Amino acid sequence: MKASKLLGWTTAIMLAGIATYTVMPDVSGEEAKQAEAWGLSQEEQELINVTNGDLIGDRAKDGAWEFHLYTTDGYIEMANGELVWVMGYTHARGSFKDVGEVKTKEEVERLLEPVKVPSDTLHLFVGEKARITLHNTGIHSCDEHSGINHVAHTIHFHGLDLTPAVDGVPSLPVDPVLEHKAFTYELTPQYEGSFLGHCHVDSFNHILAGMYFPIIIHQDKTKTAYGYKYDRDYTLFFSELSSTANEQLQETGIVHGLQDWKADYFLINGRTFTDNLYHPRSIINDPRSRIVAYEDETVLLRLMAIGADHVFAPHPHGYHMEVIALDGRKLKSSYEKDTLCLASGERVDVLVKIPHFASQRKCMSCNLGAGITIMHDHNLRGMVSTGKYPMGALTIFDVRSKTKVAKPEEPLIKEGKPYNPLEH
Tell me: the pLDDT tens digits for 96-118? Answer: 999 999 999 999 999 999 999 99
Distance between CA 119 and CA 112 in Å, rounded? 12
- What confidence tens digit (pLDDT) does each residue in 283-294 have? 999 999 999 999
pTM attached to this predicted model:
0.87
Output the average pLDDT for the chain. Answer: 88
Q: How confident is the model at residue 159 (pLDDT cuts 50, 70, 90)?
A: very high
Q: Tell me if domain 58-221 and domain 228-423 are identical in fold.
A: yes
Q: Which CATH architecture has domain 228-423?
A: Sandwich (2.60)
Q: How confident is the model at residue 281 (pLDDT cuts 50, 70, 90)?
A: very high
Asked if 238 and 303 touch (Cβ cutoff 8 Å), the reply is yes
Q: Is 231 helix (H, G, I), strand (E, B) or coil?
A: coil
Which ranges of 229-339 would DSSP assign to H, the alpha helix? 243-252
Domain locations in the chain?
3-51, 58-221, 228-423
pLDDT attached to residue 417: 63
DSSP state of 113: P
Give just the sign of the alpha carbon dihedral 41, 46, 52, 58.
Answer: negative
Report cis status (omega within 30 of 0) of the bond before 25.
Answer: no
Q: How confident is the model at residue 1 (pLDDT cuts 50, 70, 90)?
A: very low
Distance between CA 60 and CA 124 in Å, rounded? 14
Q: Which residue has the higher pLDDT, 7 or 406?
A: 406
Q: Is 148 helix (H, G, I), strand (E, B) or coil?
A: coil
Asked if 55 and 6 touch (Cβ cutoff 8 Å), the reply is yes
Of 308, 249, 324, the residue nearest 88 (C-alpha): 249
- What confidence tens digit (pLDDT) does each residue in 65-92 have? 999 999 999 999 999 999 999 999 999 9
pLDDT at 415 over 90: no
Neighbours of 128 (CB within 10 A): 14
Distance between CA 23 and CA 180 in Å, rounded? 51
Which residues are paired to 224 by β-bridges? 229
Q: Which fold has domain 58-221?
A: Immunoglobulin-like (2.60.40)
pLDDT attached to residue 32: 53
Q: How confident is the model at residue 180 (pLDDT cuts 50, 70, 90)?
A: very high
- What confidence tens digit (pLDDT) does each residue in 303-361 have? 999 999 999 999 999 899 999 999 999 999 999 999 999 999 999 999 999 998 899 88
pLDDT attached to residue 51: 95
Neighbours of 258 (CB within 10 A): 12
| Pairing status of strand 65-77 against strand 130-136 | parallel
Q: Which residue has the higher pLDDT, 1 or 263?
A: 263
User: What does each C-alpha distance from 422 to 66, 290, 370, 398 come to in angstroms?
Assistant: 42, 13, 8, 10
User: What does each C-alpha distance from 107 to 72, 97, 134, 286, 402 come to in angstroms?
Assistant: 11, 15, 17, 28, 47
pLDDT above 70: percentage of residues in the chain: 86
pLDDT attached to residue 11: 35
Neighbours of 369 (CB within 10 A): 22
pLDDT attached to residue 69: 98
pLDDT attached to residue 259: 81
CB contact set of 352 (below 8 Å; sequence gap of 6+): 293, 298, 299, 301, 316, 319, 320, 321, 322, 397
Q: Which residue has the higher pLDDT, 27 or 348?
A: 348
Which residues are paired to 397 by β-bridges? 291, 373
Of 369, 365, 275, 285, the residue nearest 319 (C-alpha): 365
Distance between CA 316 and CA 107 in Å, rounded? 43
Report cis status (omega within 30 of 0) of the bond before 408.
Answer: yes
Q: How confident is the model at residue 205 (pLDDT cuts 50, 70, 90)?
A: very high
| Pairing status of strand 130-136 against strand 122-125 | unpaired
pLDDT at 27 over 50: no
CB contact set of 105 (below 8 Å; sequence gap of 6+): 140, 141
Q: How confident is the model at residue 371 (pLDDT cuts 50, 70, 90)?
A: very high
Which ranges of 19-149 would DSSP assign to H, the alpha helix? 27-38, 42-51, 105-111
Distance between CA 382 and CA 122 in Å, rounded? 27
Distance between CA 354 and CA 398 in Å, rounded? 11
Mean pLDDT comparison of 35-49, 214-228, 257-271, highest-scoring range:
214-228
